[in-house]
């Protein structure tokens, strides 16, 4: 049994700890066995080299890392990492208050994965194994334990710094329990010494002590600035695991690397500039070589008679040499690298083909006597193929230019999103003065003026004024949204005709726009399962093509017409050149890249390419009710007084009393009074009876609110008075409302109906999904009567009520066991396990972070109509991928045999290597062009 509560760990404060804890534990065990450990130069943690997440050689020394993020930070700036001073360990007592989950308790448990102390009441999850219940600080620890419980329990002793001790201290940054004797470091501030679990926490505290001395719930997110002169990382579009700090070619496929993080500015593309320059310079000499080679076709052969065949061969040699050796140098370099790295690719074939043609031609020019007599023409010279080598090189250069230009357009969606953020913001200072400041100088809490027609600079709340905001660039919905005091606004959206004053809440990389850009960028580098088809084919492709080229040469040399060897060479080169593994390799990633970008502009964020592939095949969608189908915020729907009271008086007294309650229903009642402009007054003698109701004194009236049994048994309201309200209460329950009774001065005063309203967009989305033939299932913890009311309003037949949080995953598992392809849509912490278990997890962008992290897809504004758009996008993207793969396979299946000469015995047709080169270029460009059609997809 699995149960996740909303308490969770301390979340992002030590997000890095979860995935490092097992490696740390392995290191601890290894150290007891006297095995050598290394120190991660970034975070200072001990690392077992045999289980390190990565290693990096720098200046003759090898450094080991606990996580890939530490490795990447070190690789970006090794000198800075190595220049940090070692941390001193000092032991002095302290009394920092720990986070709730880590507060001392008589029944504290130890997380068996990371060794942290966990309070069962606030644990992120629990798992029963072999009759014992284990508790976990985070869902990631739970998932790791569930996958390999025996392995975890075999080394479950907590880390030394986290073992219970009478003098344990609390790390003020992440809230972890730390032993002073084994702490990673300490720092004295205002006469008190603080201890830290890792040097990273120490550095954060030392930079801003006041911030981390605040209680965790009072810390506002801090903007993350991009360091000036930061290192740009480059990634391969076909092999995203290849990551370099310099532009160049992929060591696996040979394709040009591109920046991992897209910039809004149109910065130069060094690879495109280099290929363009080589193409422009080489085009002229290649055309001259082509003209000389074809001069024999001119009536009377004037050039041949004027200069002679030998001179013309030498002229072609002089013109072709710089074209092939300088213009084609990148192709030879990549071809050689592919052989060295045992990763043959398109450039392997190009290098072999052009190299063979060029090498043979040099031999025929310099040492013609070494060739058989059948190769010689009447004048004693030998036919050369400099024009084939030169034109192949120029055409491949042209293909690279066209491909790089087309690929640059695949990131246009991210660039358009980045350009939504304005360069400046209008800052309103405390004295009321205003000035425009750069966006990177805006901090959390700043007040900003947004004038009509301007873009909202960052995420925040409206504190003055009202307006309407166009959010179509993020949500895909064209209707402007009204914004008034207390309503949130999103950075990058367009303000309408009103003026407003807002308070910044999230800036920098924490804004919704920045998170969207990051998620889309990550998704574009992920790999869809269908990519495996192309990967398997590509693995055999190059060796197979080389074998076909050799067989072609042998066949022509044995059975071809004279000159046999010349025909053998030309046709073998044509086979090598026309084959294009890049068309296969690009078929999937190009479509995924463009498709995820198109989704981002329509309010659909794809986190994993697999989700985009599977969503179109889904036949069942499971919805969590609260926050997914409904607003997730209870609202006052009905005020029904008895004849002795008016609606306004009943609501004023009830809302005044409920001001002292923290119950969600109380908040709905108070908000309902405010929305109706009904003022509240102070209350006294407030008492709360858990699970039943509240009572107190308002304007000298004794007021009680709660269940009918509470009013009858505790307050003394007669059953007869309550009976007059029961019929109305039953009617409201049939409509899906939760009913509370109100008593005033010991007599029934009326009742209030509270409900979680269905989202305005839910009805349309449900009808469209049902029309698409999908089975829709609603899960809720509500009573069956309330759940049925919601189901009736939406037209849902499969409504499952009384489902506990830990049972949602079981429902998904049962549906999958029936052979269904299941998508799960939810927004809460308790939905995370079901989201992860479903074939496709769909999170609401308005929901909890853990739900978004567990899902493969996010609907930005929680609008389910975006789910309809996501299915259309999924189907269109997969169709586009299948088109690309079909074209790539058919092109190679037809092109290679034609180049080998299978048509020659029947039609006398042979394929020139130059035409083969043009065809090869066309194949890659056509795949990219087809993928770019997704940018114009109507969703």
The pair of three-digit structure tokens given for residue 803, joined into one six-digit string:
């489902």
Model confidence at 876: pLDDT above 90: yes
Within 8 A by CB and 6+ apart from 737, the residues are: 637, 638, 753, 754, 755, 786
Fill in the DSSP letter of residue 806.
G
Instruction: Select from 502, 498, 490 the least CA-distant residue to 452.
Output: 498
Q: What is the pLDDT of residues 153-192, one digit of tens each?
A: 765 444 433 344 446 778 887 776 677 776 777 888 888 8
Residue 317's pLDDT band (cuts 50, 70, 90): very high
- Rounded to whole angstroms, how far apart are CA atoms 779 and 804? 9
Q: What is the pLDDT of residues 739-771, one digit of tens each?
A: 888 988 888 888 988 888 888 888 889 999 999
Residue 318's pLDDT band (cuts 50, 70, 90): very high
Looking only at Cα atoms, what is the longest distance across the chain?
125
- Rounded to whole angstroms, how far apart are CA atoms 754 and 761? 21
Specify the CATH number for 638-755; select among 3.10.105.10, 3.40.1110.10, 3.40.50.880, 3.40.50.970. Answer: 3.40.1110.10
- Rounded to whole angstroms, how far apart are CA atoms 235 and 271? 13
Within 8 A by CB and 6+ apart from 613, the residues are: 528, 529, 530, 874, 877, 878
Q: Where are the beta strands (DSSP E) in 756-821?
A: 775-779, 798-800
The residue to which tokens 């006398």 are assigned: 908
As to burial, measured by CB atoms within 10 angstroms (0-12 exposed, 13-18 middle, 19+ buried), residue 829 is: buried
Residue 327's pLDDT band (cuts 50, 70, 90): very high
Between 456 and 719, residue with greater pLDDT: 456
Give the neighbor-by-neighbor strand order of the sheet with 132-136.
Answer: 2-3, 125-129, 132-136
Fill in the DSSP letter of residue 455.
B
Per DSSP, the three-state class of 539 is helix
Per DSSP, the three-state class of 688 is strand
Looking at every residue in the chain, the average pLDDT score rounds to 76
Report, as an integer, the average pLDDT of 526-552: 75
Model confidence at 928: pLDDT above 70: yes
Q: What is the pLDDT of residues 136-154, one digit of tens each?
A: 766 667 777 877 787 777 6
Model confidence at 668: pLDDT above 80: yes
883 within 8 A of 930, measured Cβ to Cβ: yes
Model confidence at 122: pLDDT above 50: yes
Q: Among all residues, which ones are annotated catalytic?
A: 624
Per DSSP, the three-state class of 689 is strand
- Rounded to whole angstroms, how far apart are CA atoms 885 and 370? 46
Report, as an integer, the average pLDDT of 852-862: 77
Residues 146, 150, 151, 154, CA torsion sign: positive
> What are the extents of the domains in the chain?
39-81, 109-151, 169-213, 231-261, 272-421, 428-507, 511-616+865-938, 619-630+758-838, 638-755
Model confidence at 315: pLDDT above 70: yes
Q: Which helix (H) or strand (E) holds 839?
A: none
- Rounded to whole angstroms, how far apart are CA atoms 138 and 174? 13
Can you give the pLDDT at residue 14? 35
Q: Lowest-confidence range among 6-15, 293-302, 779-788?
A: 6-15
In the chain, count H helices and then E strands.
Answer: 32, 38
Q: Lowest-confidence range among 480-484, 499-503, 679-683, 829-833?
A: 829-833
CA dihedral angle for residue 4, residue 806, residue 755, residue 869, rounded to 10 degrees: 90
Per DSSP, the three-state class of 683 is strand
- Rounded to whole angstroms, how far apart are CA atoms 921 and 402? 9
Q: How many CA atoms lie within 13 A of 145 on its CB side?
A: 28
Instruction: Select from 644, 668, 857, 664 the least CA-distant residue to 752.
Output: 668
Within 8 A by CB and 6+ apart from 167, the residues are: 91, 93, 179, 180
Partners of 286 in the β-ladder: none
Between 786 and 907, residue with greater pLDDT: 907
Report, as an integer, the average pLDDT of 414-422: 67
- Rounded to whole angstroms, how far apart are CA atoms 473 and 463? 24
Partners of 859 in the β-ladder: 604, 844
Residues 69, 73, 78, 84, CA torsion sign: negative
DSSP string spanning 586-653?
Answer: HHHHHHHHHHHHHHHTTTEEES-HHHHHHHTT--EEEEEIIIIIB-SS-EEEEEEE-TTS-HHHHHHH
Between 916 and 87, residue with greater pLDDT: 916
CA distances from 757 to 125, 798, 861 (A): 30, 20, 16
Partners of 449 in the β-ladder: 426, 501
Query: Cα 776–781–784 angle (5° rounding)?
Result: 75
Residue 325's pLDDT band (cuts 50, 70, 90): very high
Class at the top of the CATH hierarchy for domain 511-616+865-938: mainly alpha
Q: What is the pLDDT of residues 77-120, one digit of tens each?
A: 777 677 654 333 333 333 333 333 334 444 567 778 766 667 67
73 within 8 A of 82, measured Cβ to Cβ: no
Can you give the pLDDT at residue 551? 93
205 within 8 A of 87, measured Cβ to Cβ: no
- Rounded to whole angstroms, how far apart are CA atoms 758 and 516? 26
Between 13 and 434, residue with greater pLDDT: 434
Can you give the pLDDT at residue 126? 77
- Rounded to whole angstroms, how far apart are CA atoms 837 and 839? 7
- Rounded to whole angstroms, how far apart are CA atoms 495 and 500? 9
Tell the CATH topology of 428-507.
2.70.150
Can you give the pLDDT at residue 102? 38
Residue 26's pLDDT band (cuts 50, 70, 90): very low
Q: Lowest-confidence range among 174-178, 531-535, 578-582, 839-843?
A: 531-535
Model confidence at 390: pLDDT above 60: yes
Give the neighbor-by-neighbor strand order of the sheet with 620-624.
Answer: 604-606, 857-859, 840-844, 822-826, 620-624, 775-779, 798-800
Between 30 and 702, residue with greater pLDDT: 702
The pTM is what? 0.56
- Rounded to whole angstroms, how far apart are CA atoms 471 and 603? 10
Cα 884 off chain centre by:
24
Q: Lowest-confidence range among 337-341, 546-550, 621-625?
A: 337-341
- Rounded to whole angstroms, how far apart are CA atoms 848 and 833? 13
Tell the CATH topology of 619-630+758-838.
Rossmann fold (3.40.50)
Residue 339's pLDDT band (cuts 50, 70, 90): confident
Can you give the pLDDT at residue 329? 92
- Rounded to whole angstroms, how far apart are CA atoms 599 and 618? 18
Between 133 and 183, residue with greater pLDDT: 133
Per DSSP, the three-state class of 190 is coil
661 within 8 A of 646, measured Cβ to Cβ: no
149 within 8 A of 129, measured Cβ to Cβ: yes
Model confidence at 582: pLDDT above 70: no
Between 324 and 468, residue with greater pLDDT: 324
């Amino acid at each position: 049994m699995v149960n996740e509560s909303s308490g969770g760990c301390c979340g992002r404060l030590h997000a890095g700890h979860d995935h490092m804890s097992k490696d740390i534990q392995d290191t601890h065990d290894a150290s007891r066995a006297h095995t050598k450990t290394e120190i991660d130069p970034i975070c200072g943690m001990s690392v077992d080299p045999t289980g390190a997440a990565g290693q990096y050689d720098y200046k003759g020394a090898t450094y080991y890392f606990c996580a890939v993020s530490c490795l990447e930070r070190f690789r970006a700036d090794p000198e800075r990492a190595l220049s940090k001073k070692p941390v001193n360990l000092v032991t002095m007592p302290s009394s920092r208050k720990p986070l709730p989950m880590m507060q001392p308790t008589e029944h504290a448990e130890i997380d068996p994965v990371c060794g942290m102390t966990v309070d069962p009441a606030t644990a992120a999850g629990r798992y029963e194994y072999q009759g014992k219940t284990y508790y976990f600080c985070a869902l990631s620890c739970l998932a790791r334990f569930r996958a390999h419980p025996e392995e975890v329990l075999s080394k479950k002793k907590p880390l030394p710094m986290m073992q219970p001790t009478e003098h344990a201290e609390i790390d003020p940054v992440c809230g972890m329990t730390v032993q002073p004797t084994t702490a990673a470091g300490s720092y004295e501030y205002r006469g008190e010494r603080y201890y830290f679990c890792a040097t990273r926490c120490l550095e954060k505290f030392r930079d801003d002590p006041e911030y981390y001395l605040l209680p965790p719930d009072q810390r506002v997110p801090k903007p993350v600035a991009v360091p000036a002169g930061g290192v740009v990382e480059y990634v391969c579009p076909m092999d995203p695991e290849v990551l370099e700090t310099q532009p160049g070619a992929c060591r696996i496929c040979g394709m040009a690397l591109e920046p991992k993080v897209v910039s809004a500015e149109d910065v130069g593309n060094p690879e495109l500039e280099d290929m363009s320059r080589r193409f422009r310079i080489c085009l002229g000499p290649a055309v001259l070589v082509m003209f000389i080679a074809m001069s024999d076709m001119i009536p009377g052969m004037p050039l041949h008679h004027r200069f002679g065949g030998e001179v013309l061969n030498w002229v072609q040699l002089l013109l072709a040499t710089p074209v092939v050796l300088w213009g084609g140098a990148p192709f030879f370099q990549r071809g050689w690298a592919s052989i060295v790295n045992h990763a043959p690719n398109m450039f392997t074939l190009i290098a072999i083909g052009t190299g063979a043609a060029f090498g043979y031609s040099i031999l025929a020019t310099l040492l013609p006597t070494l060739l058989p007599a059948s190769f010689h023409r009447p004048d004693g010279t030998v036919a050369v193929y400099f024009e084939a080598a030169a034109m192949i090189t120029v055409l491949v250069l042209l293909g690279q230019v066209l491909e790089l230009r087309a690929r640059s357009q695949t990131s246009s969606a991210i660039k358009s999103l980045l350009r939504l953020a304005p360069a400046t913001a209008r800052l309103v200072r405390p004295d009321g003065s205003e000035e425009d400041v750069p966006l990177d100088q805006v901090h959390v809490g700043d007040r900003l003026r947004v004038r009509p027609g301007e873009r909202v600079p960052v995420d925040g709340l409206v504190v003055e004024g009202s307006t309407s905001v166009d959010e179509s660039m993020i949500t895909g919905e064209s209707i402007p949204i009204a914004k008034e005091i207390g309503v949130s606004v999103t950075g990058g959206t367009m303000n309408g005709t009103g003026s407003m004053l807002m308070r910044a809440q999230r800036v920098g990389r924490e804004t919704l726009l920045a998170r969207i850009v990051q998620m889309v960028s990550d998704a574009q580098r992920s790999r869809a399962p269908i990519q495996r088809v192309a990967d398997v084919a590509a693995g055999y492709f190059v060796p197979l093509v080389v074998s076909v080229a050799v067989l072609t040469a042998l066949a022509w040399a044995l059975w071809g017409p004279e000159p046999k060897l010349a025909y053998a060479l030309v046709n073998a080169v044509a086979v090598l050149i026309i084959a294009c593994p890049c068309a296969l390799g690009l078929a999937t990633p190009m479509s995924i890249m463009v498709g995820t970008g198109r989704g981002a502009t329509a309010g659909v964020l794809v986190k994993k390419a697999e989700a985009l592939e599977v969503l179109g095949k889904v036949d069942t969608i499971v919805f969590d009710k609260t926050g997914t189908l409904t607003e997730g915020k209870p609202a006052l729907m009905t005020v029904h007084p008895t004849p002795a009271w008016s609606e306004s008086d009943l609501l004023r007294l009830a809302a005044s009393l409920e001001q002292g309650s923290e119950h969600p229903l109380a908040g709905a009642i108070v908000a309902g009074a405010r929305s109706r402009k009904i003022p509240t007054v102070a209350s006294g003698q407030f008492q709360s009876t858990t699970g039943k109701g509240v009572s107190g004194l308002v304007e000298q009236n004794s007021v009680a609110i709660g269940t009918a049994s509470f009013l009858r048994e505790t307050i003394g309201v007669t059953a007869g008075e309550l009976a007059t309200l029961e019929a109305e209460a039953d009617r409201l329950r049939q409509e899906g409302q939760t009913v509370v009774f109100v008593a005033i001065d010991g007599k029934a005063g009326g009742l209030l109906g509270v409900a979680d309203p269905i989202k305005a967009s839910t009805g349309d989305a449900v009808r469209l999904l049902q029309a698409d033939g999908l089975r829709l299932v609603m899960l809720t913890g509500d009573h069956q009567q309330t759940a049925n009311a919601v189901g009736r309003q939406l037209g849902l037949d499969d409504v499952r009520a009384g489902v506990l949080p830990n049972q949602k995953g079981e429902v998904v598992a049962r549906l999958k066991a029936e052979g269904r392809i299941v998508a799960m849509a939810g927004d809460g912490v308790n939905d995370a396990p079901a989201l992860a278990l479903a074939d496709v997890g769909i999170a609401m962008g308005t929901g909890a972070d853990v739900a978004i992290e567990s899902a493969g897809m996010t609907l930005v504004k929680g609008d389910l109509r975006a789910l309809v758009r996501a299915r259309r996008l999924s189907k269109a993207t997969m169709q586009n991928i299948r088109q690309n793969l079909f074209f790539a396979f058919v092109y190679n299946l037809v092109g290679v045999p034609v180049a080998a000469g299978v048509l020659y015995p029947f039609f006398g047709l042979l394929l020139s290597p130059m035409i083969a080169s043009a065809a090869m270029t066309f194949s890659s460009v056509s795949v990219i062009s087809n993928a770019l059609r997704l940018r114009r997809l109507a969703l």
